[in-house]
Amino acid sequence: MDSVLLNTINGKYSDRPPVWYMRQAGRVLPSYMKLREKYTFRQMMNDPELAADVTLLPVYDLGTDAAILFSDILVIPDAMGMGLEFTDKGPVFNKPLKDSNNPLAELNPDPDKLNYIYDAIDAIIRKRPENTPLIGFCGGPLTVLVYMIQGLSTNHSFPDAVKFIYQNKKDTLKIIEIITELSVEYLKKQAEHKADVFQLFETHAGLIPSDLYKEMFLPSVKKLYKTAADLHLPFIFFPKGFGTALSTITPEHCDYAGIDWQTDIFYARKILNPEIGIQGNLDPRLLFADKKVISDKIESYIDFGKENKNWIFNLGHGFIPGIPFENALFLTEKIKNTDWKRN
Ligand code: CP3
């Protein structure tokens, strides 16, 4: 496939960085909002043809260099029988683990419950325009775990979940193992169905001290990466809020690290293992500013993009609801049309 993203990952550099966005399908596209009036999120995700169409919307509407599977990180606990509902206030579990006397007994992983997603991947591969790679994904072990324990996401510090981790370390390690096992299976199947790249969304990596993350969760990242590497599936790890702990990630954990908007990208490059590529890291909220501000900000990335030809442009977290579509489009075109001074 002749793709700027895949070529860049494989060391065949272009005159510009590839561009795609976390949460590029929902949230900013008028075409998505229109579909959302007719269908619920769950209906769109569960219907393979609809999910495929939504996956491809940003490729057509924004001109991104890749599509990311239209699904959610919480399909893993859903496939364990946790009773997931997507409400207006966000995802909610009927049986959060914090309310259970025997959390481990609540989990009944059934890998077949993920089969509808492989049908969606097949439909994407059939429908996608030429040279459009598909990014598959799953949630990082900590991020998935804290939703499972807390049950809902209105409080982003997940107080009961962090308390649970400290109070029930042994059970927590077992739950991490169960999450990891199903996620490994899920990753393998996504590769088998021809996803081209994989991203691990560890959105809540910053919730706990990094030494605890390293001890309890990083071995799970290593297992997932090993599975991907054995299948030659490029693997991007996005540990949001990891800060200076970026320096402890090694090529045993990922091919690329997604850098959040809190971290200076030059600093990230300095402390990150030189064999690991960088993806990131524009503050999505900058897209509420006017075009001149956006344009100047991209110009300020030129030095980085000139020196780092393996860089993948992305946001430092996903698109936010309310960002003007025209600014997202402007940004994409700006990335593609800027002279990155690589010759
Ligand atoms: O471009 C895409 O949107 C790709 C698909 C995708 C979704 N969620 C669709 C979705 C991806 C990659 C995710 C990841 C995800 N889901 C994360 C990690 C990344 C991040 O943004 O931090 C997390 C923490 C979740 C959990 C989740 N799912 C939350 C907190 C919510 C509530 C509202 C929201 O938009 O975040 C969801 C629901 C969800 N997932 C929606 C979409 C499009 C909104 C559903 C709706 O239209 O009501």
With respect to residue 259, please indicate whether it lies within any of the assigned structural domains. Answer: yes
pLDDT in tens, 84-123: 999 988 899 998 999 999 999 999 999 999 999 999 999 9
Write down the pLDDT at residue 343.
80
Give the lowest-confidence range in 9-13, 38-42, 153-157, 198-202.
153-157
Residues with CB under 6 A from ligand 1: 23-26, 36, 41, 68, 70-74, 86, 90-91, 137, 143, 153, 201, 203, 318
Is the pLDDT at 154 greater than 90? The verdict is: no
Write down the pLDDT at residue 268.
98
Centre of ligand 1 from the C-alpha of residue 319, in Å: 10
Share of the chain above pLDDT 70, in %: 100
Atom 11 of ligand 1, residue of closest alpha carbon: 72
pLDDT-derived band of residue 156, with 50, 70 and 90 as boundaries?
confident
Q: What is the mean pLDDT of the chain?
A: 97
Ligand 1 site-directed mutation target among 73, 84, 88, most atoms within 8 Å of CB: 73
Residues 278-302, mean pLDDT to the nearest whole number? 98
Centre of ligand 1 from the C-alpha of residue 51, in Å: 14
Ligand 1 atom at minimum distance from 318 CA: 21
Residues 293-313, mean pLDDT to the nearest whole number? 98
Write down the pLDDT at residue 81.
96
- Domain with 233 in it: 4-337
With respect to residue 125, please indicate whether it lies within any of the assigned structural domains. Answer: yes
pTM value is 0.97
Query: What's the chain look like in SS3?
Result: CCCHHHHHHCCCCCCCCCECCCCCCCCCCHHHHHHHHHCCHHHHHHCHHHHHHHHHHHHHHCCCCCEECCCCCCHHHHCCCCCEEEECCEEEECCCHHHCCCHHHHCCCCHHHHHHHHHHHHHHHHHCCCCCCEEEEEECHHHHHHHHHHCECCCCCCHHHHHHHHHCHHHHHHHHHHHHHHHHHHHHHHHHCCCCEEEEEECCHHHCCHHHHHHHCHHHHHHHHHHHHHCCCCEEEEECCCHHHHHHCCCCCCCEEECCCCCCHHHHHHHCCCCCEEEEEECHHHHHCCHHHHHHHHHCCHHHHHHCCCCEEEECCCCCCCCCHHHHHHHHHHHHHCCCCCC
Write down the pLDDT at residue 282.
98
pLDDT in tens, 257-281: 999 999 999 999 999 999 999 999 9
Ligand 1 site-directed mutation target among 72, 147, 202, most atoms within 8 Å of CB: 72
With respect to residue 95, please indicate whether it lies within any of the assigned structural domains. Answer: yes
Ligand 1 site-directed mutation target among 23, 24, 37, 76, most atoms within 8 Å of CB: 23
Residues 289-315, mean pLDDT to the nearest whole number? 98
Write down the pLDDT at residue 155.
75
pLDDT in tens, 176-220: 999 999 999 999 999 999 999 999 999 999 999 999 999 999 999
With respect to residue 137, please indicate whether it lies within any of the assigned structural domains. Answer: yes
Ligand 1 atom at minimum distance from 36 CA: 47
Ligand 1 atom at minimum distance from 90 CA: 32
Centre of ligand 1 from the C-alpha of residue 87, in Å: 12
With respect to residue 250, please indicate whether it lies within any of the assigned structural domains. Answer: yes
pLDDT-derived band of residue 153, with 50, 70 and 90 as boundaries?
confident
With respect to residue 15, please indicate whether it lies within any of the assigned structural domains. Answer: yes
pLDDT in tens, 60-89: 999 999 999 999 999 999 999 999 999 988
Atom 46 of ligand 1, residue of closest alpha carbon: 41
Residues 224-243, mean pLDDT to the nearest whole number? 98
Residues 311-329, mean pLDDT to the nearest whole number? 98
Write down the pLDDT at residue 56.
98
pLDDT-derived band of residue 26, with 50, 70 and 90 as boundaries?
confident
CATH of the domain at 25: 3.20.20.210
Ligand 1 atom at minimum distance from 240 CA: 22
pLDDT-derived band of residue 152, with 50, 70 and 90 as boundaries?
confident
With respect to residue 342, please indicate whether it lies within any of the assigned structural domains. Answer: no
The total number of structural domains that make up the chain = 1
Centre of ligand 1 from the C-alpha of residue 23, in Å: 7
With respect to residue 343, please indicate whether it lies within any of the assigned structural domains. Answer: no
Centre of ligand 1 from the C-alpha of residue 31, in Å: 17
Centre of ligand 1 from the C-alpha of residue 135, in Å: 15
